[in-house]
Amino acid sequence: MRQTSLVTPFVTEILKNNSQFQDLDRVYLQNQILTLIGADDFDEVVGIATNQPIELANQLVDYAVEHQAIADNQPAREILEAQLLNLITPPPSYVNQHFWNLYQESSQAATKYFYHLSTANDYVKTAQIAKNIKFPVATEYGDLEITINLSKPEKDPKAIAAAATAAPLSYPACQLCMTNEGYRGRLNYPARSNHRIVRFNLNGQTWGFQYSPYAYFNEHCIFLDSVHEPMHINRQTFCNLFAIISKFPHYFVGSNADLPIVGGSMLSHEHYQGGRHVFPMNQAQVEREFQWPAYPEIKLGVVKWPMSVIRLTGANQAQLINAATTILAQWQNYSDESQSIIAHDADGTPHHTITPIANKIDGEYQLDLVLRDNQTSTAYPDGIFHPHQDVQHIKKENIGLIEVMGLAILPGRLLNELTEVGKYLLDQPNQIAAIHQPWADQLKAKYASQLTTDNVEQIVREDVGHIFARVLEDAGVFKRTAVGQAAFDKFIQQVIA
């Protein structure tokens, strides 16, 4: 295929996508691109012309690397790509104005625009996300969604070495701060030149709305506080969640817990996650209902789920907020030593919180409250209600909001490790990891007469799904036994008394 100028088609795409520029800006944009890629001669910047901005940007990055304008490492490449694609992205003022103009038409029209913008400029890494391995596994709790996360690129050894000598910086304070918008990035911090945040008023406070760069589900978004302050779960949390789904009723919204071990990976900045996805837990049924005299308009039930979930349903937001606040307060101070549930240490250190998830379904609000306990013990140093050691070969990390709802985010290492397990099961030469050996031996004993090259991958994957169900059971505070569920009912009876 004949090579031609890369700059001209990229300028054309900028003018097509960014209405802030006009045809009179062509020469200006051309020279901005040459400056970014370190080129002096327009005619020497050649490649395969296309009308895809991301492909063009990546070819321009390759040019910059080949001509030693930037270092040949992943952070430098990502910084330059984001700077180039920033040119096709309207400034924050325009994005916000256009978003809220479209919102007058519908909330879905506004989010459709913003999501398209965030994928078209490669802020949402759709090509990387497509590498993730996804498959459903049927369990007694419904079909769980298993994802082996391959989207985030592995650390570049050259970049790691360079970052080790870089001076530590405190700006932005974290990756969720609004000061990330348009930030160039550095060796040890992601590029954000093409990042945009929609501002909105949330119960009298300024918040931001953005999409997640490495999304785990459809239109995975983040709602973030404009103030850099730690996460917390309280009455205001429930007020905020309902305000958000009232504003964006086609999305769910939920919060990670606010304590270590049971919380998410970003406890330093108040934020929620949302998006357009129906999770396995959303489809799980209520198996026991309770009458709450104080709130006759609300349905309260226990969800058939491996974790301990109380579901509140109703149309009255105020009552739902009050009910949720009551449950939270009761749980924060509830102990049942027969179930290893202890609310506080002797020194007053709290162990109990909630992972809340809100949806609007058929005109009613649904609020799922997942009870969490972050205690540790000698037997379970990583957490009593955390994946236990015998399943950590599959999942050792915290069980956050997304996994609570039945979507497993498993480490990328499993892609190759599970292949080696399959080879071991078929008695082929393999390099099975020692951490998988006991599990593989169990599989071999269970399926000895059934294993073939055609079904081994399916057998391994299905068992991974069942292990994930066990992971969630480990994280459940009231176990899925007759004794455990009776203890759960005892707690609920105390709440509604």
User: What six digits make up the tokens of 230?
Assistant: 């730690």
- Which tens digit of pLDDT belongs to each residue from 328-337? 999 999 999 9
- Report residue 5 CA to chain centroid gap: 39
pLDDT at 404: 97
* Span 279-285, average pLDDT: 96
Q: How confident is the model at residue 2 (pLDDT cuts 50, 70, 90)?
A: low
Question: 482: which residues sit within 8 A by CB, 6+ positions away?
Answer: none
Q: Rounded distance, CA 404 to CA 226, Å? A: 26
Phi, psi of 214 (to 5 degrees): -115, 70
Q: What is the dihedral of CA 490, 492, 495, 497, to 10 degrees?
A: -70
The sign of the CA dihedral 254, 259, 260, 265 is positive
The pLDDT of residue 161 is: 54
CA torsion angle for 312, 317, 323, 329 (degrees, to 10)? 110
What integer pLDDT is reported at residue 28 of this predicted model? 97
Instruction: Say how far apart CA 15 and CA 13 lie, in whole Å.
Output: 5
Instruction: Give residue 264's pLDDT.
Output: 78
Other beta carbons within 10 angstroms of residue 413's beta carbon come to 12
d(CA 376, CA 383): 4
Dihedral sign, Cα of residue 62, residue 65, residue 70, residue 71: positive
Which secondary structure element, helix H or strand E, spans residue 7, and what is its range? helix 7-17
Rg of the chain in Å (alpha carbons): 25
Q: What is the pLDDT of residue 154?
A: 58
Burial of 122 (0-12, 13-18, 19+ CB in 10 A): buried
The answer, yes or no, to whether residue 166 has pLDDT greater than 80, is no
Count CA atoms within 13 Å of residue 374 on its CB side. Answer: 19
Condensed to tens digits (0 to 9), the pLDDT of residues 59-95 reads: 999 999 999 999 999 999 999 999 999 999 999 999 9
The position carrying tokens 């079909």 is 143
CA 193 to chain CA centroid, nearest Å: 21
Phi, psi of 352 (to 5 degrees): -115, 135
Using alpha carbons only, give the angle 326, 300, 219 rounded to the nearest 5 degrees.
90
CA distances to 6, 139, 306, 349, 447 from 404, in Å: 46, 15, 9, 24, 30
Beta bridge partners of 274: 221, 253
Token code pair at residue 54: 């991301």
Residue type at 363 in one-letter notation:
G
Other Cβ atoms within 10 Å of 105 Cβ, number:
10
pLDDT tens sequence across 169-218: 789 999 999 999 999 999 889 999 999 999 999 999 999 999 999 999 99
Which string of DSSP letters, residue by residue, matches 312-374? EEES-HHHHHHHHHHHHHHHHT--BGGGTB-SB-TT--B-EEEEEEEEEETTEEEEEEEEEE-
| Position 479, amino acid | K
Position 41 pLDDT exceeds 70: yes
Whole-number average pLDDT of the chain: 94
Are 215 and 124 contacting, i.e. CB atoms less than 8 angstroms apart? yes
Do residues 404 and 355 make contact, with C-beta atoms less than 8 angstroms apart?
yes
Average pLDDT over residues 452-466: 97
Residue 156 in this model has a pLDDT that exceeds 60: no
pLDDT digits (tens, 9 = 90+) for 232-262: 999 999 999 999 999 999 999 999 999 999 9
Residues 474, 304 contacting (CB under 8 angstroms): no
Taking the C-alpha atoms of residue 210 and residue 335, their distance in angstroms, rounded to an integer, is 39
**Lookup: tokens for 95:** 């994005």
